[in-house]
Amino acid sequence: MARNTLGSLTIKHPQIKHVYRGKVRDVYQLENGKLAMIVSDRISAFDHILPRLIPKKGAVLNQIAEYFLEATKDVVPNWLENVIDPNISVGKMCKPIKLEMVVRGYLVGHAWRTYSSGERMLCGVEMPDGMIKNQAFKTPIITPSTKADEGHDEDISQEDILRKGIVSEEIWNQLKHYSLALFQRGSEMADQRGLILADSKYEFGIDKSGTLILIDEVHTPDSSRYFYKNEFDTKIANGEEPEQLSKEFVREWLISQDFMGKDGQIMPSMSDELVASISNRYVKLFEEITGNTFRYDDRDVENRVEKKFVEYLDNQ
């Protein structure tokens, strides 16, 4: 039966050396020295994969990532070389750095949940007293987390990163510089589209030449949070919640269903209406942030993606 969503594929081919299945992406290490990333329609929150696939989500993420990787390659070199299908990207294989570099321009999401609990330190960074939800920091802050293969990512400070030897001080300084530069570029691009980039996370790796490069996605709704610029100040002044373009609304729905990924909590079921709403919001973000119309053939997606990937592998 034809399916309009992409879950996990089982592809066997002599060119495939190893497969790593992440929460959302299936990453293939290839004999030709490349890395192929198939972006599925899975969705995760609180480090758990939700029970339903979201139509079009993988293609949205992959194409937004392509858009921003192209637009930021003058800021930092990145892994992407070719997009062979709306859901498949191919590029440089590298050794990933086990950190997520989270840059926060506004007090929102995890930072706000920490702040509202009374804490003022986040990843070794002190947040000023007297701030309100969604308020801008004087300058963006970096709040890194460890990148876990399984289970929860954990907040970590610069001091602990260096003490544990996760990276050298030289690499850490490069990571900070690149992350802030990427956030600045993303903020400028968002501003041109009438949006505010509130926060974002970046992942890096070392390629075969020893160069630090940007990997994975960048400035997508899975890795970033946006507000609408034209209504933001008025809503903050009125004590209202500004509308977000991110998957924070998925987290908020889960919280309303008493699920935050903690032991003993049961993942709630997802209605067809909720799934359609999430899909529509992903498409909306694509169009808002890129200014382009989202076009995508979602008929028999799994067969199409497998065929395109095998054709690529056969030609290597």
Burial of 57 (0-12, 13-18, 19+ CB in 10 A): buried
Task: Judge contact between 285 and 221, C-beta under 8 A.
Answer: yes
Task: Enter the pTM of the model.
Answer: 0.90
Amino acid at 61: L
Q: What is the pLDDT of residue 221?
A: 83
The structural domains of the chain, with segments of one domain joined by +, span 96-249
Q: Does the structure show a pLDDT above 50 at 284? A: yes
Weakest mean pLDDT among 60-74, 76-90, 165-179, 274-288: 274-288
CATH of domain 96-249: 3.30.470.20
Please tell me the predicted confidence (pLDDT) of residue 150: 57
Lowest mean pLDDT among 52-56, 141-145, 176-180, 219-223: 219-223
Which residue spans within the chain are E strands per DSSP?
A: 16-21, 25-30, 34-39, 44-45, 48-49, 80-85, 88-92, 94-96, 99-106, 121-122, 125-126, 136-142, 145-146, 195-207, 212-215, 224-228, 244-245
Instruction: Work out the pLDDT band at 152, boundaries 50, 70, 90.
Output: low
Who has greater pLDDT, 150 or 47?
A: 47
Query: What is the Cβ-side half-sphere exposure of residue 232, based on CA atoms within 13 angstroms?
Result: 18
Q: How do residues 218-265 score in pLDDT, each as one tens digit?
A: 999 889 999 999 999 999 989 898 988 778 789 889 999 999 999 999
Among 100-109, 193-202, 279-288, the range scoring the smallest mean pLDDT is: 279-288
C-alpha to C-alpha distance for 29 and 93, rounded to whole angstroms: 7
* Residue 148 pLDDT level (bands cut at 50, 70, 90): low
- Is the per-residue pLDDT at 1 higher than 50? no
Q: How confident is the model over 109-115, as a mean pLDDT?
A: 94
Two tokens at 186?
């993303």
Does the structure show a pLDDT above 80 at 174? yes
User: Tokens 């299945």 belong to which residue?
Assistant: 21
Query: What's the mean pLDDT when you consider all of the chain?
Result: 93
For residue range 298-310, what is the model confidence (pLDDT) as tens digits?
889 999 999 999 9
Model pLDDT, residue 247: 81
**Chain mean position to CA 266:** 24
Over residues 141-166, the mean pLDDT reads 88
